[in-house]
Structure 1
Amino acid sequence: MNRLDDMVDIFDLLGDWEQRYTYLVELGEGLPQLPEIHRTEENRVKGCMSQVWVKAYRDPTDPALIRFHGDCDTSIIKGVLALLIQLVSDRTSAAVESLDVDEFFGKLGLDENLSPNRHFGVYAIVELMKQQVRTLDAAALNAG
């Protein structure tokens, strides 16, 4: 079973959207704080109504894997960010690039329960994650 299917199972167990929103808030509260040094314009998600930052970096013990840190100033989107980080951290660049936002929205029911503005913001978060992975890959190619 993949990570997205595991998330779907949890969402199914929660039942109604009030419980799911509570779960998203709790996930967001559990995100490790993003160090202030990474709250840069380069790491800020543009096109999102919330203030969101994402930072990609290589796993120090396995440089083939990418990890993410992130933070947000609104609780629901911070929870969605936590889900995205769980979904793509400790994965290869190719796995991050293959993330299908529409599948993510659809399987979790977010497409019907988040406002269009929040949808746009989540697309922007994923695009920045993918852009950062491409930057890491380019830097590794140039260093090699």
Structure 2
Amino acid sequence: MTTTIDSIISDFEFLDDWEDRYRYVIDLGKELPAYPDDARDAAHKVQGCVSQVWLKTIPHEGNDPVIEFLGDSDAHIVRGLVAIVLAFYSGRKASEIVSSDAEEVLKKLGLDEHLTPQRSNGLRSMVARIRRDAEALKVSA
């Protein structure tokens, strides 16, 4: 997926109603690269999500490694939320991930107000998992 978080924010501002925004979120999920079948296991499953969500962390070499993330879900909207989270975090250094504020971006998008409590909790679980993985890689580097 080559969509940046800045382009997602810009596209959200262009769309007037939430029905269009939800369709856009679903379309973002369709752009995610194929998720490896061998990573659909308990170790990669994100706890705290009602839908099934998997995240694979791929660190590069170095003391403060750049980290790529792959993700997937069995639910269309949640898969789109995975795409948004990955657009924000993937390709950044571990230290940047740990110090970044995803809540601010989610508020800019209005997701904090327009998701069900279950989806909001799942989104927070994804962010927590990514930050935890980045913290562990930052410490071990």
Q: Percent sequence identity over matched residues?
A: 35
Aligned partners of 2:116, 2:33: CA distance in 1, in Å?
Answer: 26
Aligned partners of 1:87, 1:98: CA distance in 2, in Å?
Answer: 13
Gaps (5+ residues) in structure 1?
none
Aligned partners of 1:121, 1:65: CA distance in 2, in Å?
Answer: 24
| Deviation (angstroms), 1:69 | 0.2
Deviations 1:65-88 (A, max 9, x none): 110000001111110110111111
> Which portions of structure 1, spanning 4 or more consecutive aligned residues, are displaced by more than 3 angstroms?
3-6
Contact 2:49–2:121, Cα closer than 8 Å, also in 1: yes
In the other structure, the counterpart of 1:78 is: 79
| Deviation (angstroms), 1:135 | 3.0
Deviations 1:14-73 (A, max 9, x none): 22111111111011011112101112212111011010001111247xx73110000001
Aligned partners of 1:41, 1:19: CA distance in 2, in Å?
Answer: 34
Aligned partners of 1:51, 1:99: CA distance in 2, in Å?
Answer: 25
Deviations 1:95-135 (A, max 9, x none): 21123232122100111110111111000001111122233
Contact 2:46–2:125, Cα closer than 8 Å, also in 1: yes
Gaps (5+ residues) in structure 2?
none
Is residue 106 of structure 1 aligned with residue 110 of structure 2? no
| Deviation (angstroms), 1:4 | 4.3
Query: Aligned residue pairs: how many?
Result: 137
| Deviation (angstroms), 1:138 | 4.2
SS in 2 for 1:50: coil
Q: Which runs of structure 2 are paired with 1:1-144 in the superposition (5 Å)?
A: 4-59=5-60, 64-139=65-140, 141=141
